[in-house]
Amino acid sequence: MIVLLIYAAIFVASYVIVKLVVHRQARDYTSLKTVTFGDESAVTPNRIASVVSILSIFLLWAAFTGSTLVPRFLHAPGPFIGDATFTYTAEAEGQRDDATVTVRVFRVGEDVAVPEVDPGDGWAKNDSDTVGAWRSGLIRVDRNDELGRDSGHAVVAVNGQPIEPGGSVQTDFGRVGMSPKGTLNFEPAKGWQMEPIWLPPPEAVLTRLVEISREGYRDSTLWEHLGYSLFRVLVGFVTGALVGIPLGYAMGLSNWFRGWFDPIVEFMRPVPPLALIPLVIIWAGIGETGKIILLFLAALWIMAIAARSGVSGVRISKVHAAYSLGASKGQIMRHVIVPNSLPEIFTGARVAMGVCWGTVVAAELVAAEKGAGMMIMVASKFQLTDIVIMGIILIGVIGFGIDILMRKAEKALVPWKGRG
């Protein structure tokens, strides 16, 4: 919630600053065009906003994970680390006595020794223990006291404030609670930062990336994992397109084909490929065949529908013009209908590639020996959150890269798209 508010504040503040400092020159009539809603051409992405947006996400990530990449004063308050102390008042056989508890709060993963303390006076002795940051620990204060539980030992106050089973007392170092059976439970202050097991700092993800790209993960290098995912997508997409495009053409050109395949295509189109995973695993197992069949099915319907609408979308005047110029049916197919359908097919291919990439990751999450999805699934089972985040970022970057490549290909191969 706090993070969201800070993000909104950065959004507003950077808008105001950029408007004041940079955008003085934007005083032409284009600013009036935005009045006509729906005129998309008047709205172009502000690149400064994009940069600030990305930077602030990383800044927030670094600040709330105590990253070493940003200066300390930007950090959100961290968890308490060090020696915490509080006193307790115990009662046994009608006598009361005070003692101090020293708890060493340490970063999980570091070596720690129980602090040595002087036992002190009275029958209640001073205690010491260790608790990891973001964790909590039971502290059996009666263990070293001269009057134990057999004598009716009970803690009645912490730092002078009365406490009873089920209750708790706030101290400067965190919360001291009491279990229903009367044992003290210390929970050091957590601060606002995220525990690495939930969200590791950016540098941890980066280190992991370097480590895994050098040493690999689960018997395969990083490139093998990503390469396998990409390979499956490519093979699935290409086979899907090889079958789907001719099928779409046939459906666009022949009543019989249209009638025969319409129910199948219209039924299969709304079935998410993810829903087919269990069936494909039953039929083809968890190996490559199963995944490629799945991706083939994901791409097939999209490509068939794209090719079909590309064919039926041809302007009749173009076909008429070609006929009256003496072209034969075959020539019209080759020189008019096919090129005219290419823009639609490219749009379909972009969609299909996106769907295939999403589907392959999901399929690998379910079962795989190699692959980007398998990598993050296995890592999450061992609570290696840094690998999970690294995997998500890599999957996103590759998906984005695929879309950029498809757009570039589209521009180079069908420059007439949308200009007919």
Partner 1 sequence: MNRRDGMSGLTIENLSMRFDLPNGTAVQALKDISLKIKQGELMSVLGPSGCGKTTLLNIVAGFLAPTEGRITLNGHLVKGPDAERGMVFQQGALFEWMNVRENVSFGPRMAGRREKDWGGTVDHLLDVVGLRDFKEKAVYELSGGMQQRVALARCLANDPDVILMDEPLGALDALTREKMQSLVLKLWKETGKTIILITHSVEEALLLGERLLVMAPRPGRIHREYRLPFADLGVGQDLRQVKRHPEFAQRREEILGMIWDMEEEIMGRTEESA
- Binding-site ranges for partner 1 (CB under 8 A): 315, 317-318, 320-328, 331, 335-336, 339-340, 342, 414-416, 419-420
Nearest-approach distance from CB 70 to partner 1, in angstroms: 50
348 within 8 A of 335, measured Cβ to Cβ: no
> Based on CB atoms, which residue is closest to partner 1, 265 or 311?
311
Nearest-approach distance from CB 307 to partner 1, in angstroms: 16
> Based on CB atoms, which residue is closest to partner 1, 36 or 324?
324
> Based on CB atoms, which residue is closest to partner 1, 353 or 414?
414
Return d(Cα 20, Cα 11) in angstroms, integer: 14
Return the H-helix or E-strand segment holding 355. Answer: helix 338-366
Residue (of 264, 273, 234, 230) closest to 359 by Cα position: 273
> Based on CB atoms, which residue is closest to partner 1, 260 or 416?
416
Residue (of 120, 112, 126, 116) closest to 82 by Cα position: 112
Hey, what's the torsion of the CAs at 349, 350, 351, 357, to 10 degrees? 100
> Based on CB atoms, which residue is closest to partner 1, 89 or 340?
340
Number of H helices, E strands in the chain: 13, 9
Residue (of 362, 344, 246, 343) closest to 298 by Cα position: 362
> Based on CB atoms, which residue is closest to partner 1, 41 or 324?
324
> Based on CB atoms, which residue is closest to partner 1, 140 or 411?
411
> Based on CB atoms, which residue is closest to partner 1, 104 or 318?
318
Return d(Cα 370, Cα 227) in angstroms, integer: 9
301 within 8 A of 266, measured Cβ to Cβ: no
Indicate the pairing of strand 95-106 with strand 127-132.
Answer: parallel
> Based on CB atoms, which residue is closest to partner 1, 62 or 336?
336
Residues with Cβ within 8 Å of 5's Cβ and at least 6 positions away in sequence, in order, are none
Nearest-approach distance from CB 416 to partner 1, in angstroms: 4
> Based on CB atoms, which residue is closest to partner 1, 143 or 320?
320
Nearest-approach distance from CB 303 to partner 1, in angstroms: 20
* Bridge partners, residue 168, by sequence: 177
Nearest-approach distance from CB 322 to partner 1, in angstroms: 7
Count Cβ atoms within 10 A of the Cβ of residue 192 and give its class: 0-12 exposed, 13-18 middle, 19 or more buried: middle
Return d(Cα 40, Cα 418) in angstroms, integer: 15
Nearest-approach distance from CB 331 to partner 1, in angstroms: 5
Indicate the pairing of strand 168-171 with strand 95-106.
Answer: unpaired
Nearest-approach distance from CB 30 to partner 1, in angstroms: 24
Nearest-approach distance from CB 329 to partner 1, in angstroms: 11
Nearest-approach distance from CB 342 to partner 1, in angstroms: 8
Hey, what's the torsion of the CAs at 198, 377, 241, 306, to 10 degrees? -40
> Based on CB atoms, which residue is closest to partner 1, 252 or 290?
252
The total number of residues shown for the chain amounts to 420
Nearest-approach distance from CB 341 to partner 1, in angstroms: 11
Hey, what's the torsion of the CAs at 373, 375, 380, 384, to 10 degrees? -140
Nearest-approach distance from CB 323 to partner 1, in angstroms: 4
Pick left, alpha or beta for residue 160 (phi over 0 → left; psi -120 to 50 → alpha; otherwise beta). left
Return d(Cα 66, Cα 69) in angstroms, integer: 9
